Structure 1
Amino acid sequence: MNIWLEALVVRNTHRIPAPSGPSGEGAAVARQFDAALMSAGFKLSGDVLRALSGLSEQTVRSLAVRTLATVRDMAGDHVRHNSYFRDFPRNVPDTLDFWLGLLHETMQDADLAPAARESLRGGVLNLLTLKGYGRYQHTYEEMLAAQDELVAAASDRVTVLHLGRGLDEEAAELYLRLAESTTPLGEEDLETLGKLAAHHASGPHPERIPVRENRAVINRVRLALGAEPLVDTVTDVLRLACALSDGDVTLQEPTRFASMPRPTRRALLAALDGVVRDDPGKLGDVAAWREPWKRLGERLHPHEYPKWAGAADVFAVARGEKKAPSFAARFEARLASGDLAGAARVAAGAPGMLFRSLDRLLRLAPDSQDAVLKTAESVAGRVSGRVLLSVREHLLNRAAETGGTRLFANRLGLGVAMPDTRPPLDTAAVERLSALLDEEIRGRLPSVGHLVVAPDALDVALPLSGKAAGNGLGVLPRGSMSPVDGALLRFFVYWRQHETRTDFDLSALMLDDDYDNPEWLSYTNLTSVAGEHSGDITDAPEGASEFINLTLAKVKARFIVPQVNIYCGEGFEDVEESFFGFMLRDAEQKGRPFEARTVRMKSELRGPGRVALPLVFLRGDDGRWSAKWLHLHLKGGTNFNRVENNRVTTSMLLRGIVERRFLTVRYLMDLLGAEKTTLWDGTAPGGPVTFIGLERPEGLHEDSMVYTPENLGDLVPA
């Protein structure tokens, strides 16, 4: 049994590969397995229970142990979540009273008092000098003993695990889905693709690999097998070199190129020569990555292979010895000369660049709009579906009035907001371009007979990039909206440092309708009318958790913004492990600070910033709460980040994303052109359907096509 492969399938598909083994009477153990899963918020489908019932008890027991470990990790239940205040959320003290109490205890301790006095002499109280501050004062078992049992509720999360096909079939399907993705994958999915590519080295092989990063990962495996890499640009070869050096195939971070054996050097140089020989104009791509090319040239020694002159030209361009203007340079030159129609014609050679530049061209060329739009219409069929959808979403946010907020979020999730000072686009041009995009997208979508859509999926944003969503349980793409039904909202963060003392601080910023009048819960403000903070943990060699509990009926703010601030120590990319999530409970449920079956979302914390903003909770005019997914980071300071200090920046970012309109499942539903469209009401139709929802429901016809957040990106056309 390939345990890691099975875990990948369960995690990424919510299916259990069809189990095999000796026949037997496994029904009783299967029911026990199902009950154990329910404690973590999961459940076996009827098909899985029936399949397990005919197997031996030992086979079922082994599968149960493996699957339970996987799903507990998915929900964040694989670690022990303690809280600084043992009775949390009960008996959380007032912040000032708490600090003064610790100060009093410290002054009674002859060993600790001098450091505290020295701190006070400087006019600032160093909390770390206080007795017991920032470290658990009780064991995990003592915390459990102080908590009431969780009362089961119908609202608890239940994620159904369905029966899959054999492990090899499920793994192959997952591999092909990731490899053929039309949108960039997130970091974890890209790593998964690499593992699956190596496992399926002998096949099956993807028919097409639209995303360049995916191509680099798979080319690494092809090269190891002696096959030619799949490349059609010089940058494809650069990405492959990064992959071979265990570097960043997205080219966002510098790669330290490793020494390469002669066969590898020959393969890379031959690939470069082939690209340039077929189209010398592709040398224009070199300038965008001039420095990485220079460093790679030191490893490949192109001067040793004079027969590949095209490869030598690549490095000559990188060193500035040979001129090769890029599309972008030629485009900018036309713009500078005032030839807007000519600039559009130049950009048509790279249709994606043309479409990404349309806003600028239409603003600068009021007299040439017809020529620009005709050029766009002539090449629309050569533009990727992801770019078409991105431009369509962009047009949704180009209102006739100026004065809004413009949001920028890079591939790494760092967010910046600023006033939108661009003049409006011509209404007729926007309508013409929007109609073109809608028609082109409609023509690329799959044909659908009976379309069934779950109402709670209508406002899920289309995943135009896997980098705009974290990996985890219940995670939706940036811009998605989902309802929040519960009396108690509880955030949690867990981290375990790698080497250096690391202090993550969980905080919640609350803002009014105007994104103002801030109130917060954090280690500097442990209690408010609406909620409680579990207490500050400042060192996590064995792992640490912090919680914030909010009674939603008492929250007066319009927005609740949970955030994780790195006060000091290792970053999100450097710690051994870190994740954020939230739970929902009924008022009477009680229970431990962390209960897996109440977890609605759990996401890995990854990103280059020092402040993480996973999502925001919004109260509607009807008083109901919803979550809108952010997946953003603030750069923050190297140390001492606090919610009080970044509230202005957070408020601006929040305005930018709350007021931004995103393309959602609702938009695609109107374009799919189904013969029949119905909303899911809990009753499965008799025949095959195309279903879009947050989870696959039981009872669907076996030939149905199902889209859930795990594979929603498959709807983004190529």
Structure 2
Amino acid sequence: MTRVASADVDVDLDSFLLRRRGAVCVPTAGLLPAADPWSTAGLVALDADLAQRGHLLTAGLRAALARLTPTALAAVGSGLLARIDHRLGADRRHLTLFHRFPDAVPDHAHILYSRSIRAFLLNQPRQPCAHCGRVGAEAGIAALAPCAHLLCPGCHHGLTAQGRGDRCPLCATPLADEPWLGEDNPAGRKAAEEFGGEQTLRPLRLAEGETLDVALAELTRLLARRTPLDPQDREDLAALLALAPDDLAMRLPAQIPVRETKAVVLTALLRRDPDGALPVLAERIDTATDVLRLLWSWSGAEPDLLPATARRLRLRNLPRPLRRGLLAILDGLPLPSLAEDLRRHRSAWLRAGELLHPYEYRNRYPTIAAAFVLLRETDLREHPVGAGFAEPPHPLRVVETGGRTRLGFTGFAGRAESRLAAVDVAGPARTLAARPGELARRLHHLLRVQAATAPGEPLPADVLRTVTDALRGAAPGPLLGAYGRLRGHREQGERRLYFPRGTVSLAHAREDHGAVVPAELARPVVESVETELLRRCAGERYDLALIDEGLADLVVPFAERAAAKTLVAVPRGSRQRLPAGERLRLFLHWMQPEHLRVDLDLSVALYDAEWRFTGLCDYTELVHGDRAAVHSGDFVSAPPPHGATEFVDLDLGRLAAAGSRYAVMIVFSYNDVAFEQLTDAFAGFIQLSAADRGVGHYDPKAVRQRLDLMGDAKVCVPMIVDLEDRRYTWTDLNTGADGGFHSVRRYSEEVGRLSKDVLDHFSPGNRATLWDLAVAQAAAGADEVLVRGRDGAGLRSWRRHEGEPVEDFAARLRQLVGADAAERATATERLAGTRAFVTLVDGDVPAPEKLSGSAYRLYPGPFDAAPEEVERLTAGDLLARGLSCRGRARLGHLTGDQTRSTCWVPVRVR
């Protein structure tokens, strides 16, 4: 990607900080010595606008904004609101075809802020304090009178003791004789009914430190990530690289583990200084595929080497010095790996050869020339270069086939396949151990061979030792993929789900009639993986760990390259509870480009407990049953500038009472236009209160999830709702579609079968989860672990006994047995003043004081106000963090003094 203009980069960085850290940059150059009276008054309007979107200014941020001039405040505030609206999808006009939806289907600043705060407090008293970020103590948080800013009793008592209790600490407004704003009045009750749900305001804090330093810190984290970046991370990477200083090459980490990321970075260096970047390329490139990815990125494409990308890619010419430099790098690689890498991406390398001209320099670079002779299957007797290969270098050989003389080569994959066909597992285990990632991917296959050839016998000790040693070098993805695959329950003839690598998330299923791997055969390997996870996490110490039992519902991220951009980064296959209430509103918004009509359709397919089709709600049937599902009306085009929006309201209780168990949300491109051709397209769901039946209502603060529709796909299945359990499975999947005129009735059987396969595939225990990662990190890094019950219920404590092996401690945690006690203190009280490892589903834990360490949370909340010393982790960070194949300490049976952000890849089955 070319360098981004400065203004554009600033916007991207601001969005990056808002999304990842809940932080807002305030330009330091324009700050006044003291608060401006006009800006202080203008902040009231910003308070109201943010409250309508479910956000709250914290004290530090509010003080910085007050020091801006009124003009600068207007610019910063407008930009902040625009970024929030863009994330929530509220920057579009959402009108329904039937203007009185759903009732008419199918029949054709200070007062506002005060009212909003009352509504939030009536629905959920535990709101964050705008001064300290914590949730109020026993007396509960309240709003100050008359300004309505939220303050906890502790802060108010502290200010009173300092003689400052007569004014609001945020806006300095003199307080009334009764300093607390009454909640229970008619206006507040009405607002509470309109708002609905127990929603918590999300604190926004000031981004501390220089903007460039923040950008470089985030860039370093992305470059060090050991798992592929999702689309949002790749977009952030491009913006941050454009912000990097001229000495970017000197600031790069020693290793960039993800090869696609490395290609993007090297391309950025090439575009800055083509001549100066060549030594960096020679140092960083260690496989032929790295060169191919670089050529893809140099040509303006994603360096994923996918066939879909290749079909649209026009390779960009190379300057002669760069071409010679790349040939020299390729010629210096070992011939066996070079030949195998070229053959793995044969069609792509044939195109790349047209740019590199390897035969032109065959005397200077004979190794790469020989590899291309092999790749092109050149007849050595007819081609002029063939004379130089009468005696080819090892391991190439001359073969005669079909009257032609050419070079032959047996690669690693061929040797592994031939040995897997034998009756002895020791040979293929030794072969695969040379490539730990391949061993992890084929581990189930290896055990299946053992189960078929030696029924009832355990894996030989030498083979288990070979596997255990090799797994130390496997990447996190294949390692955890094998872990989930081997520990899950398997049956003869079960349907297995596959996720082919691609630009969109496709899934295919087929029946598996191969030998079932017995649990007793897989158990030693599973235990080896668990020990390896603990070994990799050993090294970083914490005073305390807090992990959430609900993490067991979050699948380890996999296939993130094809994941959609979402408001809440729920990993595909994860199962989450629905928002409180009986009603759910699904939405779809899209805008077509000029001169192209695009007709998207929001649909819901309904099935019973046995996955029998029970009905639908779409453009062909606007009302299902006794108004259990209601469609807002079918738009057949979405011209700019506003596009079009469709809604479907679901009454969960009525649907279940009518015999439906599952509701599958689907988006169809009716006239067969791929999502990637749209100017803008996204879908998601909104939490509705009992009183919220507004006209085409799109309430940004009530948006609970949205995903961007993207890629070369025409059918998207974002989620499956379980109407009985009131939970949804986030699928983020696409299905194949041809011919246009797509509808639920046409695909009801296919969608039902796919949905059932998805739920079976991600059923509890079948996949590695964030709970597995959190337990490994907590057990290896802390001697005391607090476990929060599902949905925030209860807190229990586990302590590592003196001399207890860390494996045993982790086993007790993993199985939730042998707890020391139920914790009486709150999580906030226990975490205050500690260095902690925190992993939560909901960030509704009040932010502790003087906390440091690392933290992950799925849903935002008061915990987002935690100090800057807390490292914020994404699910991808949690996966990659500490799981490097270069573990820093041997685990063994470590004592307390010695210890201190996907991924199932299907194997081929015979």
TM above 0.5, yes or no, is yes
Q: Which residue of 2 aligns with 1:394?
A: 485
CA distance in 2: counterparts of 1:560 and 1:301, whole angstroms: 56
Q: CA deviation at 1:449?
A: 3.0
Q: Which residue of 2 aligns with 1:435?
A: 527
Where in structure 1 are there 5+ consecutive unaligned residues? 99-147
* Residue 409 (structure 1) aligned with residue 554 (structure 2): no
1:39 to 52, 61, 69: 52
Structure 2 residue matching 1:683: 3-state secondary structure: helix
CA distance in 1: counterparts of 2:839 and 2:204, whole angstroms: 17
**1:443-592 alignment, distance < 5 Å:** 443-445=535-537, 446-454=540-548, 457-467=551-561, 469-484=563-578, 485-498=580-593, 499-528=595-624, 529=626, 530-542=628-640, 543-556=643-656, 557-591=660-694, 592=696
Q: Which has the larger radius of gyration?
A: 2
Q: Which residue of 2 aligns with 1:714?
A: 877
Structure 2 residue matching 1:555: 3-state secondary structure: helix
* Residue 692 (structure 1) aligned with residue 839 (structure 2): yes
Q: CA deviation at 1:393?
A: 1.4
Q: CA deviation at 1:486?
A: 2.4
Check 1:606–1:182 CA distance in 2 against 1; reply closer, same or farther (3 A cut).
same
Does the Cα contact within 8 Å between 1:475 and 1:603 map onto a contact in 2? no
Where in structure 2 are there 5+ consecutive unaligned residues? 1-6, 109-190, 379-406, 793-825, 859-872, 885-910
Q: Percent identity?
A: 29
Deviations 1:17-36 (A, max 9, x none): 35423223244434432321
Does the Cα contact within 8 Å between 1:463 and 1:477 map onto a contact in 2? yes
Does the Cα contact within 8 Å between 1:532 and 1:549 map onto a contact in 2? yes
CA distance in 1: counterparts of 2:775 and 2:639, whole angstroms: 52
1:669 to 768, 774, 778: 774
**1:152-551 alignment, distance < 5 Å:** 152-156=195-199, 158-165=201-208, 166-200=210-244, 202-203=247-248, 204-224=251-271, 225=273, 226-227=276-277, 228-229=280-281, 230-252=284-306, 253-254=309-310, 255-276=313-334, 280-306=336-362, 307-321=364-378, 322-338=407-423, 340-366=425-451, 367=453, 369-370=459-460, 371-397=462-488, 399-411=489-501, 412-445=504-537, 446-454=540-548, 457-467=551-561, 469-484=563-578, 485-498=580-593, 499-528=595-624, 529=626, 530-542=628-640, 543-551=643-651
Q: CA deviation at 1:249?
A: 1.0
Deviations 1:262-291 (A, max 9, x none): 132123222212333xx6434212111111
How many equivalent residue pairs?
Answer: 660
Q: CA deviation at 1:637?
A: 1.8
Q: CA deviation at 1:402?
A: 2.5
CA distance in 2: counterparts of 1:634 and 1:150, whole angstroms: 40
**1:7-18 alignment, distance < 5 Å:** 7-17=15-25
**1:12-91 alignment, distance < 5 Å:** 12-17=20-25, 19-20=27-28, 21-23=30-32, 24-25=34-35, 26-91=39-104
Alpha-carbon RMSD across the aligned residues, in angstroms, is 2.5
Q: CA deviation at 1:514?
A: 1.1
Structure 1 residue matching 2:630: 3-state secondary structure: strand
Deviations 1:236-281 (A, max 9, x none): 11011100011231111213212222132123222212333xx643
Between 1:151-160 and 1:545-554, the stretch displaced more is 151-160
Structure 1 residue matching 2:302: 3-state secondary structure: coil
Check 1:492–1:571 CA distance in 2 against 1; reply closer, same or farther (3 A cut).
same
Structure 1 residue matching 2:194: 3-state secondary structure: coil
Deviations 1:392-420 (A, max 9, x none): 111233x2432433111223311112333
Does the Cα contact within 8 Å between 2:554 and 2:570 map onto a contact in 1? yes
* Residue 683 (structure 1) aligned with residue 740 (structure 2): no
Q: Which amino acid aligns with 1:460?
A: L
Structure 1 consecutive aligned stretches of length 4 or more whose deviation exceeds 4 Å: 454-458, 694-698
Between 1:704-713 and 1:580-589, the stretch displaced more is 704-713
Check 1:339–1:312 CA distance in 2 against 1; reply closer, same or farther (3 A cut).
farther
Structure 2 residue matching 1:581: 3-state secondary structure: strand
Q: CA deviation at 1:172?
A: 1.7
CA distance in 2: counterparts of 1:9 and 1:293, whole angstroms: 39
Does the Cα contact within 8 Å between 1:355 and 1:387 map onto a contact in 2? yes
Does the Cα contact within 8 Å between 2:591 and 2:638 map onto a contact in 1? yes
Q: Which residue of 1 aligns with 2:160?
A: none
Q: Which residue of 1 aligns with 2:106?
A: 93
Q: Which amino acid aligns with 1:251?
A: L
CA distance in 2: counterparts of 1:60 and 1:692, whole angstroms: 36
Check 1:310–1:650 CA distance in 2 against 1; reply closer, same or farther (3 A cut).
same
Check 1:512–1:473 CA distance in 2 against 1; reply closer, same or farther (3 A cut).
same
Q: CA deviation at 1:500?
A: 2.0
Q: Which amino acid aligns with 1:342?
A: G
Q: Which amino acid aligns with 1:376?
A: V
Does the Cα contact within 8 Å between 2:655 and 2:723 map onto a contact in 1? no
CA distance in 2: counterparts of 1:41 and 1:690, whole angstroms: 27
User: Normalised by the size of structure 2, how large is the TM-score?
Assistant: 0.69
Q: CA deviation at 1:92?
A: 0.4
CA distance in 1: counterparts of 2:735 and 2:433, whole angstroms: 36
Check 1:270–1:600 CA distance in 2 against 1; reply closer, same or farther (3 A cut).
same
Check 1:459–1:19 CA distance in 2 against 1; reply closer, same or farther (3 A cut).
farther
Does the Cα contact within 8 Å between 2:447 and 2:522 map onto a contact in 1? no
Check 1:515–1:387 CA distance in 2 against 1; reply closer, same or farther (3 A cut).
same
Structure 2 residue matching 1:655: 3-state secondary structure: helix
Q: Which residue of 1 aligns with 2:706?
A: 602
Check 1:317–1:676 CA distance in 2 against 1; reply closer, same or farther (3 A cut).
same
